[in-house]
A and B are shown apart, each in its own frame.
Chain A
Amino acid sequence: MELLGRQEVWSITYDHALGETASSFYTRIRDEAAIYGRRSAGNGRVMVPPRSFSDETLLPTEDWVKVGPGGKIEAFTMVYESFKNLPPPPYAFGYVLLDGADTALGGFFKGVDLSDPAAAAEKLKIGTRIMTKFAAERKGEMLDFWFEVDSPAR
């Protein structure tokens, strides 16, 4: 028999409240071109991205700490499919432990040719030093910054 289907496309808009902590993280990126974390009460760990409380101690975090812009790669992957609301693929992204931070920040890696994955993976290998770069015009969002492999000092 003839089997039918029903295609549906839902377009629902959410207006998520970022709260004071995430708002401050993004406005500092926008206005200062700098990454800040929050120091956790109890264990002193600097959490990046910042949280208003620690999920380890369950205490409120205490103060802002400027981290980076240098850091090192903790994990990375390369993605070849397109995702909605993101720039065109391929992407390299992963997690970076910025200098002065105790947790790693997710972000895109740029400046590496991804057409040869094995060669790109060698350049992005874990432990590699990176530098955080900021867009000239910033909107206060994740795409305002990215990571580039730090060139060796000449």
Chain B
Amino acid sequence: MGLKVQPGVIGCTIRPVITGRTRSLEEIIYDTAQMALADAGLTIDDIDGICVASNDQFDGRAISVMMASGSVGGVDRDILSTPSAGEHAFILGALRVATGQFRTQLIVSWSPTEVSSMPEAQRLGTDPYFHRALPLDELSAHALQASALEHALPGARRAAEAVAAKNRAQGGARPEEGTSRWPLTPSMTSQPVTGAVALVLASPDFIAERGMTKIAWLQGMGWATEAGFLGDRDLSTAPALEAAARQAYAMAGVTDPAHAFGVAEITDATPYSELLAYEALGLCRRDEWESRTADGSFRVGGRLPVNPSGGVLTWNPVFCTGMIRIAEVAQQVRGRAGAHQIQGVKRGLAHAGSGFAMQYQSAIVFGSEVRT
């Protein structure tokens, strides 16, 4: 089942790492929104609605849309905020265009590193009844998932090491590694950085009216959420992503996902996250993880290039990494992915996963054609 009105990405800016302190967070958000509008060739007066996503604990500003409204042009305009996950702002904006009531949407997400401890800020995301007395941050949750996967599948560790090496190499082998959290080694994680991302979506009639080209059409999307308590889940599986993929593929008319895409960007919070996504997205069975990661199937130049951007293991602006994956695939389809452009991408797949051991899962299919 397709969308009533099919949105297309007409503008995009991806800032996976922002260094220095010459711009405040509000100024970074302003810069990012302006860059995306400029890429689309629009001004804020062309925008019918705005969706933003950020994390109050990371921002150090409660209900951060209050301070961000001015930065993104939300004063006296329609603006909504999704604190659950960066990618949820994209889904909300796409749905708003799909209703036919909005012709354009500006989508912005960001993730600063101003808090003294990201792990402590993330612990605030756990319930105050049973889990805050544990050292449970997102990295611990990813480590627990990795331990469950290593137990479920002998060989998962070798596959994870290959995925980490692939993404780090494709991202230019950023030297700084992350934190050790058994069984995760520093090369399997990455230090948080400040980053931001923005997209401009438009309806087909707006795009036709403006004579726009280089469009990434949203062909399918799905999203689902797993249980909040990790102990309620089988951490060696990703049922929410399977549900999200089914929804996205049905909408896009994808029946053979392993051979349907020219590129994929997967949220590799750890390489184990990427491996689980291979399976849940129908790209590769788990009993093939070791052989496919060893033979380069998912490297640039392989059967399906995964994370030519280098992924989260290269740059990890924690809260907006999922939306960056979506933006990266949109840019690949638009032929504007820069140095890591894969030639001739007709259709691409983005996986956005967020939260504790990927509690929030989304799958997005973009194509260069308006309809599948």
Contacts and interface: CB of A to CB of B under 8 A. Distances in A.
Nearest to A93: B134
Contacts of B67: none
- Please tell me the size bucket of the interface on A: 35 or more
Interface in B302-338: none
Given A86-B133, A95-B231, A77 B22 contact: no
B372 interface: no
A104 B134 CA distance: 14
A58 interface: no
A84 B134 CA distance: 10
| Chain B interface SS verdict (over half) | loop
A153 interface: no
A41 interface: no
B142 to A, nearest CB: 9
Contacts of A80: 180-181
Contact of A95 (B119, B120, B144, B228): B144
Given A3-B21, A74-B148, A79 B129 contact: no
A67 to B, nearest CB: 12
Contacts, number: 98
A53 interface: no
B136 A106 contact: yes
Nearest to A120: B182
- Please tell me the size bucket of the interface on B: 20 to 34
Nearest to B235: A75
A105 to B, nearest CB: 6
B41 interface: no
B140 A77 contact: yes
B182 A121 contact: yes
B131 interface: yes
B135 A75 contact: no
A126 B181 contact: no
B129 A49 contact: yes
In the A-B complex, the 9 residue pairs with the smallest Cβ-Cβ separation, listed nearest first, are: A104-B231, A142-B133, A77-B143, A126-B151, A78-B182, A75-B144, A16-B128, A49-B130, A79-B135
